[in-house]
Amino acid sequence: MISLFSNRPDGADTEWLDQHADDWVEHGLVTSDQVEAIRSYEHHDAPASPRLSIVAELAVYLGSVLALMSGAMMVGQSWETLRTGGQVAIGVAIAALGFVAGARLVGLGDAGTRRLASFMWLIGTGGVALTTGVIVDTVGFDQPGWNVLIVGLPVLAIGAVLWRNLDRPLQVLTTAVGAGLTFGGVGALLSTPPWIGGILVWLAAIAIGAAAITQRLRPELYVLAVAAIAAMIGAAMLADASELAASIAATLTAAGIVAVGLVRHLVPILVVGVIAFLQGLQGLLIITLHGAAAAAVVAAGGIVVVIVVIARSTRGSKPAGGPGEANL
């Protein structure tokens, strides 16, 4: 393989790469893992070993989760007896630990430490949500919508700022949760009928999914997963106006998700779509048909979906062996 920088002066290639790699990731041209692969190839004369092995990284994740669970069990027994100051102090400590550790880890420039930084930021965001929740509970708003909105806004803002359309799946999840809480809080304050909220959620999910497919939002897989789940939630909310309309919308939406998964060759999206399609079809048939007829149609629908998926996945494939071998 020819070096990507073979035309550059000796010694200038690695320096140029280091100066521009972060900009490539920032603008979504490549992922952080791809940059690491390029660095490892271009710096083959002095390969840098990862700061964290997979085993060490997994141990940090498991240790953090166990520590959080143990702490939650110990604090949970006396949580109600703590004063507001004590509860806020716990939330602030969790937030500070998560954000400070994340900031230190992301600066190390290693793929494993960046993933761990994303995880620590998730914990820090949870600490912010906990602190905000304690404060709004102490204030005691008359309308519950304020509690949800005030907790959702900082979660949404922090998630979006840390995500910044980079390859950070956990921050995509954080942004989605914050957006959901914010939307729910606004809807409660405005007394918006659930079916109207469902339409708005469905339209927003379609727009987000389209932005992911056209590479305007990244990483595509995780943004599409969030959009697919949001679209199904929006369709289900139509049941407030009509169960039949909700079932039809859910079935059609799930079929669209299956199509996107097939076209984009994204197996997780395909799985989500197939499961949602069968559930939506079952709900639709329960309303329109009854008993054995509904079960038979659902079974037939499941078989058809499997056949279509297999046929689409194997289209144009060639046998692994020679002309005389059977194609299994």
Read off the pLDDT of residues 222-250 as tens digits, 9 standing for 90 and up: 999 999 999 999 999 999 999 999 999 99
**Is residue 319 in some structural domain?**
no
Q: Are 16 and 94 in contact (CB under 8 A)?
A: no
Q: Is 179 exposed, middle or buried (0-12, 13-18, 19+ CB in 10 A)?
A: buried
Closest C-alpha among 17, 214, 195, 239 to residue 109: 17
**Is residue 324 in some structural domain?**
no
272 and 184 in one domain?
no
Q: How confident is the model at residue 57 (pLDDT cuts 50, 70, 90)?
A: confident
pLDDT tens digit string along 58-116?
787 788 788 778 777 777 777 878 888 988 999 999 999 999 989 988 877 777 888 88
Q: Is 129 exposed, middle or buried (0-12, 13-18, 19+ CB in 10 A)?
A: buried
Structure token digits, residue 146: 């304020």
159 and 74 in one domain?
yes
Number of structural domains the chain divides into: 3
Q: Are 211 and 223 in contact (CB under 8 A)?
A: yes
The domain of 293 spans 193-314
216 and 104 in one domain?
no
101 and 44 in one domain?
no
CB under 8 A, 24+ apart: contacts of 126-129: 126/94, 126/95, 126/98, 127/91, 127/92, 127/93, 127/94, 127/95, 127/96, 127/97, 127/98, 128/91, 128/95, 128/154, 128/155, 128/158, 129/154, 129/155
Query: What local confidence, expressed as pLDDT, does residue 316 receive?
Result: 53
68 and 131 in one domain?
yes
Taken as a whole, the chain contains a residue count of 328
203 and 160 in one domain?
no
231 and 205 in one domain?
yes
Query: What local confidence, expressed as pLDDT, does residue 111 receive?
Result: 79
Structure token digits, residue 102: 């994340």
Arithmetic mean of pLDDT, 20-41:
71
Calpha distance 275→270 (Å, rounded): 9
Arithmetic mean of pLDDT, 260-264:
92
Alpha-helix residue ranges (DSSP H) falling in the chain: 12-26, 32-42, 54-76, 84-106, 111-139, 144-163, 169-189, 194-213, 220-237, 243-263, 267-288, 291-314
For the chain, the first-to-last Cα distance in angstroms comes to: 36
**Is residue 322 in some structural domain?**
no
**Is residue 327 in some structural domain?**
no
27 and 67 in one domain?
no
Q: Are 124 and 96 in contact (CB under 8 A)?
A: yes
pTM of the model: 0.75
Distances (CA, A) of 311 to 53, 298, 322: 40, 20, 22
DSSP assignment letter at 164: T
Q: How confident is the model at residue 190 (pLDDT cuts 50, 70, 90)?
A: very high
Closest C-alpha among 175, 153, 155, 152 to residue 163: 175
